[in-house]
Structure 1
Amino acid sequence: MNPVIVVHGGGASNISKDRKERVRQGIIRAATEGYKILKDGGSAVDAVEGAVTVLEDDPEFNAGCGSVLNVNGDVEMDASIMNGKDLSAGAVSAARGIANPIKLARLVMERTTHCFLTDQGAAKFAAAMGVPTVPQEQLVTERNLKRLEKEKHEKGAFKSDCEKNLGTVGAVALDHNGNVAYATSTGGIVNKMVGRVGDTPCIGSGGYADNNIGAISTTGHGESILKVNLARLTLFHVEQGKTLEEAADLSLGYMKAKLKGLGGLILVSKAGDWAVKWTSASMPWAAAKDGQLHSGIDLDETSVANLP
């Protein structure tokens, strides 16, 4: 199989021109890193973890360093990863003081008999696995301190949670052996309740991977995505013979009509086709296949470049 990777940087709106360029470069770096892993013979799981790690380390994105803050001004992060070869999966929620929750999610997948660890249990497991902790301040950005202050001030005055454009990062990949995988990571929603868990760590909502169908990673309003099981719903439509674009339009359209929930998703099929779709204002994304890198942020905006 010709390897493929697609990454997304979550929903976005009103991005300033300078920030838009930083976001674009960040998403391109993540896709390039993931594609390099695939070209060097790495697995789909290696590639999605590598790409998402790049985004978690980039303060422009709502994951890892750059995560939004909860009501107490703290960072609580969620992440999940899945291997389409055997449906093995790992997830963490309410993770604190860890630079790369996606790496911890992979350890849950590969080093435990469980799928999902949360809060103190996730912290104890991370310590047992030798995962280094980082000070809370290292994960908090000035931009997110201002966002929390603004959200507390405006609560109830503007758009509902369903209508906000919300951030998550994710990746899907197909490797040389025909295996697919997904990874998704987020800091959640600004001003969320302590302990709130969204769709990102929930298998079937924040993402899904099955070699018989393909892989998907989602972004958007977590509560809406959870209620419709967005990831698995989209892959169900693919199983029923819909194209990737049709499947994405059907599931995102259903979520918007039923719940007014906005979102986006990236998909790769078992044959190596890929798609990106969203109903939010915009969604930073990039896809690498056959030595070419496709990327965009706004609707009807795609640039193509040759990869080195």
Structure 2
Amino acid sequence: MERNMGGWAIAVHGGAGVDPNLPQQRQEEAKQVLSRCLNLGIDALRSNLSAVDVVELVVRELETDPVFNSGRGSALTAKGTVEMESSIMDGSGRRCGAVSGLTTVKNPVSLARLVMERSPHSYLAFAGAEDFARQQGVEVVDNEYFITEENVGMLKLAKEANTIMFDYRIPAAGGLETCSAVVESPILMNGLPISVYAPETVGCVVVDSQGRCAAATSTGGLMNKMSGRIGDSPLIGAGTYACNICGVSCTGEGEAIIRGTLAREVAAVMEYKGLGLQEAVDFVIKERLDEGKAGLIAVSNKGEVAWGFNTTGMFRGCATEDGFMEIGIWD
């Protein structure tokens, strides 16, 4: 799907890899969050906020709502803790900031922006990132703020099955075997089989009325992930990328996205192969993921918006200045 109407455009996502049997109530809950966040971004764009301001604003809202896996409601590590990560990129000058291993920062995306604007570095992680957060006076909360009762229960199921969880919002009161996300043929992650898998990263891409592109991505990672694991979301060029021609945010199997440098590839094939935005998105989804599963949203400096995925679904929403707006999950 592509819209090319000029002016501003915005897209949001809440993760790729949705179980096809996700209860209708959960689908509607996710759509309501996406709609609210999309409208927040639309209002900001109509107020002439810059692209980078808008992506931070929208992702902050997504981090605050526990429906998706970032900020409050983040996936839990094997130790039962939260290790959040985020990145932001301003296509004007290709400035970027990223953070990983956060345990107390309420809005990781805002700390990523402070790394971009107030530090001599592009990426800070774990204790160093937490120290920088306190130096900058950002809001911090106890780790328990991010942990939900539902995620504690799902971590227990994941541990019992010795696996990583897929769409852990699927009710599984009878145990993991009742969760329809369990697949007969294991997914290979980094060449190793896992039973089930959990994306649900959030992201936002924007082109403003002046043609400036920006992107931001935020995640809690994978349910039952190893402590210290870093995914694609904070990696510039993998999960997030923005330049003078486009902005891209990815979601899905982080290890595959990293190998394919997926976000940068969209910009690269536009620049070097002359592809349009949707053509570029389709190309990288088909040609750069190998056997990986992922999705992405993108905007161009021409006011286009596009998305693509090779999973069963992707939580997403998009809008353009001409009044077009869409919220969807399935293909």
Structure-1-length-normalised TM-score: 0.92
- Aligned AA for 2:201? T
In 2, Cα distance between the equivalents of 1:46 and 1:291?
A: 21
Match of 2:256 in 1: 224
Q: Secondary structure of 2:249's match?
A: strand
Q: Distance in 1 between matches of 2:154 and 2:314?
A: 19
Q: Is 1:108 equivalent to 2:141 in the alignment?
A: no
Residue 2 (structure 1) aligned with residue 34 (structure 2)? no
- Kindly indicate whether residue 313 of structure 2 is the aligned counterpart of residue 291 of structure 1: no
Question: Which residue of the partner structure matches residue 123 of structure 1?
Answer: 130
1:129-208 to structure 2, matched below 5 A, reads: 129-155=136-162, 159-160=186-187, 162=189, 164-208=197-241
Is the 2:198–2:222 Cα contact (8 Å) retained in structure 1?
A: no
1:234 corresponds to 2:271: no
Residue 165 of structure 1 and its aligned partner are, at CA, apart by 5.0
Structure 2 residue runs without a partner (length 5+): 1-5, 164-181, 190-195
Specify the SS of the correspondent of 2:15.
Answer: coil
| Aligned mates of 1:279, 1:59 — CA distance in 2 | 25
The 2-side partners of 1:153 and 1:203 are apart by 35
**For residues 208 and 119 of structure 1, do their structure 2 counterparts lie closer, same or farther at Cα, with a shift above 3 Å needed?**
same
Q: Which of 49, 55, 63 is matched with 2:62 structurally? A: 55
Instruction: Write out per-residue CA displacement over residues 20-59 of structure 1, whole angstroms, 9 at most, x where no aligned residue.
Output: 1110000111111111111101000011011111111111
Letter in 1 for 2:187: S
Question: Offset at 1:214?
Answer: 0.6
Equivalent in the alignment of 1:31:
38
What's 1:267 paired with?
Answer: 298
8 Å CA contact 1:66–1:139 kept in 2: the answer is: yes
Are the aligned partners of 2:198 and 2:223 in contact in 1 as well (CA < 8 Å)?
no
Shift of 1:254: 2.5
Residue 161 of structure 1: how far off its partner (Å): 5.6
Bigger relative contact order, structure 1 or 2 (CA pairs below 8 A, ≥6 apart): 2
* Aligned match of 1:244: 277
| TM-superposed deviation, 1:164 | 2.9
Q: Report the count of equivalent residues.
A: 296
Which segments of 5 or more consecutive residues in structure 1 lack a partner in the other structure? 300-308
The 2-side partners of 1:131 and 1:249 are apart by 39
The root-mean-square deviation of aligned C-alpha atoms, in Å, is 1.5
Q: Relative to 1, partners in 2 of residues 1:29 and 1:20: Cα closer, same or farther, differing over 3 Å?
A: same
TM value normalised by structure 2: 0.86
Q: Secondary structure at the match of 1:288?
A: strand
Aligned-pair identity in percent equals 42
Alignment match of 1:75 (pick from 82, 89, 93): 82
Given that 2:74 and 2:221 are in contact with CA atoms closer than 8 Å, whether structure 1 keeps it comes out as yes
Distance 1:271 1:92 in 2: 30
CA contact (8 A) 1:165 1:262 kept: no
